[in-house]
C-alpha cells in the first residue's frame, strides 16, 4: 500500500513526540526549591508529609486544588497537518 512520503513509523513517531511534549510540560510545572512551611496564598500550615512528598511545595492542598482547577489544559498538537484534523 502506498503511503506517499511518510516514513513507515511516522504515526508512532507523532505519538511519541506528543507524549514527550506532555511529559516535559508536566515536569516544567512541578515546584522546585525549598518547600514552604505555610501556604503562600492562605498562610495555612503545610503538613510535613506534604513537604516531603512534593519538594518545593508552595501551596496547601486546598489552595493547590483551586490552582489546578483554574489551570487550563494545554491544547493538542496538530502534527499531521491534514485538512481534516485542522477543521476539528
Interval 16-63: pLDDT, tens:
888 999 899 888 888 888 999 999 999 999 999 999 998 999 999 999
Counting DSSP H helices and E strands in the chain, the numbers are 4, 0
Spatial CA neighbour of 67 closest among 41, 37, 38: 41
**β-pair partners for 45:** 38
Flag whether pLDDT at 84 surpasses 70: no
Residue 62, φ and ψ in degrees, nearest 5:
-60, -45
- Cβ-in-10-Å burial (0-12, 13-18, 19+) of 81 comes to exposed
Q: Model confidence at 79, in pLDDT bands (50, 70, 90)? A: low
- The C-alpha cell 501551596 sits at 59
Whether this prediction's pTM lies above 0.95 is answered by no
Flag whether pLDDT at 3 surpasses 60: no
Amino acid at each position: 500500500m502506498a503511503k506517499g512520503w511518510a516514513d513507515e513509523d511516522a504515526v508512532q513517531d507523532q505519538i511519541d513526540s506528543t507524549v514527550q511534549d506532555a511529559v516535559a510540560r508536566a515536569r516544567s510545572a512541578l515546584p522546585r526549591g525549598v518547600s514552604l512551611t505555610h501556604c503562600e496564598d492562605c498562610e495555612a500550615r503545610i503538613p510535613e508529609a506534604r513537604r516531603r512528598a512534593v519538594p518545593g511545595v508552595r501551596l496547601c492542598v486546598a489552595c493547590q486544588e483551586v490552582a489546578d482547577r483554574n489551570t487550563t489544559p494545554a491544547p493538542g498538537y496538530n502534527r499531521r497537518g491534514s485538512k481534516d484534523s485542522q477543521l476539528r
